[in-house]
Amino acid sequence: MTAISFEFFPPKTDEQREQLHAAAQRLKSRSPEYVSVTFGAGGSTLSYTGETVKQLRERHALSVAPHLSCMGGTRAEIAQLLDGYRQHGCRRIVALRGDLPSGMATPGDFRYAAELVRFIREHSGDYFHIEVAAYPETHPQAEDALIDLKHFKAKVEAGANGAITQYFFNPDAYFRFVDDVRKLGVDVPIVPGIMPISNFTQLKRFSDGCGAEIPRWIAKRMQAHGDDTESVRDLGAEVVAQLCRRLLEGGAPGLHFYTLNRAKATEAVLSRLDL
Ligand code: FAD
């Protein structure tokens, strides 16, 4: 069976909290292996991540993996979070560098995610299953694509058990990335991150920020649908389902959905797949 997982972000308002719980309620019927909760760099959502993890475990009985980004954090703060997640029964962590919020001058005790992974192993031994981030289209700040692959390998050597990719729409980028890191001796599972499409303007903004390429043909088709959201959703679901099919046929070990705390677009993709 294909392992699926869902990513949520910590809600900040009552309305967002309702939305998260409604999405979790619907998506848990898809039997995810786990769900993950993102972490805002610089401590802005520190408490919200922990609280959201607790809520998803207690209200929905889900297995939850907190994201932990080290940028701006100290060793003592990270150790405290790890101990707290352990007390809450979490067995999986998504370990990231994060990005330095504008105006924040100090990167804290860690410079790169590999250092965080090493620290988690030093502090918690093998207790946590650690996922790290992977970039089939190269991390936007990387010096070059080959050096980026080596930096990815360093995270696995530091103790990561698996990776989740940044989202992408070109399956060849994923297959090439996996082939390249296998040649470097990396053998952990690399799960593609999947971004369901529901709002093209928002998707374009995200993609510009994180360096994910939207193929021209998809952008053109989406733009042609204008504000006709129902048809954008249908087209988006079909395009993303086709991507998932190709990834699974090509050997991807699972699918990790960026849900943006909404169930509909993710369900539209899942209902088109024969999992
Ligand atoms: P790293 O692996 O440390 O890499 C960052 C950059 O540094 C790369 O360009 C790499 O090539 C370079 N690098 C690495 N090591 C070295 C070295 N030794 N010397 C020189 N250069 C080096 N962000 C959040 O803030 N919160 C989240 O919850 C979150 N969740 C995410 C989940 C997933 C699945 C993904 C793919 C990304 C997520 N992000 C999140 C975004 C992520 O934090 C950013 O992309 C960030 O810029 C890089 O994080 P990283 O862990 O990949 O960093």
Of 52, 112, 117, best ligand 1 pocket probe by most atoms within 8 Å of the beta carbon: 112
- For 260, the token pair is 């943006």
Which pLDDT does position 105 carry in this prediction? 64
SS3 track for the chain = CCEEEEEECCCCCHHHHHHHHHHHHHHHHHCCCEEEECCCHHHCCHHHHHHHHHHHHHHHCCCEEEEEECCCCCHHHHHHHHHHHHHCCCCEEEEECCCCCCCCCCCCCCCCHHHHHHHHHHHHCCCCEEEEEECCCCCCCCCCHHHHHHHHHHHHHCCCCEEEECCCCCHHHHHHHHHHHHHCCCCCCEECEECCCCCHHHHHHHHHHHCCCCCHHHHHHHHHCCCCHHHHHHHHHHHHHHHHHHHHHCCCCEEEEECCCCCHHHHHHHCCCCC
Closest approach atom of ligand 1 to CA 134 = 36
Q: Which of 7, 115, 131, 137 is catalytic?
A: 7
Write the pLDDT tens digit of every residue in 204-255: 999 988 889 999 999 999 989 877 788 888 999 999 999 999 999 999 999 9
Task: Judge whether 7 counts as a catalytic residue.
Answer: yes
Residue bearing the bigger pLDDT, 133 or 43: 133
118 CB near ligand 1 (under 6 Å): no
Mean pLDDT, range 188-206, rounded to an integer: 93
Share of the chain above pLDDT 90, in %: 82
138 CB near ligand 1 (under 6 Å): no
Closest approach atom of ligand 1 to CA 112 = 3
115 CB near ligand 1 (under 6 Å): no
Find the range with the poorest average confidence among 125-139, 164-178, 204-218: 204-218
Write the pLDDT tens digit of every residue in 1-15: 899 999 999 999 999
67 CB near ligand 1 (under 6 Å): yes
Distance 98 CA to ligand 1 centre (A): 6
Q: What does the alpha-carbon distance between residue 58 and residue 111 come to, in Å, rounded to a whole number?
A: 34
57 CB near ligand 1 (under 6 Å): no
**Among the CATH numbers 3.20.20.220, 3.30.70.330, 3.40.50.720, 3.60.110.10, which is that of 3-270?**
3.20.20.220
206 CB near ligand 1 (under 6 Å): no
Distance 97 CA to ligand 1 centre (A): 5
Confidence of residue 184 (pLDDT cuts 50, 70, 90): very high
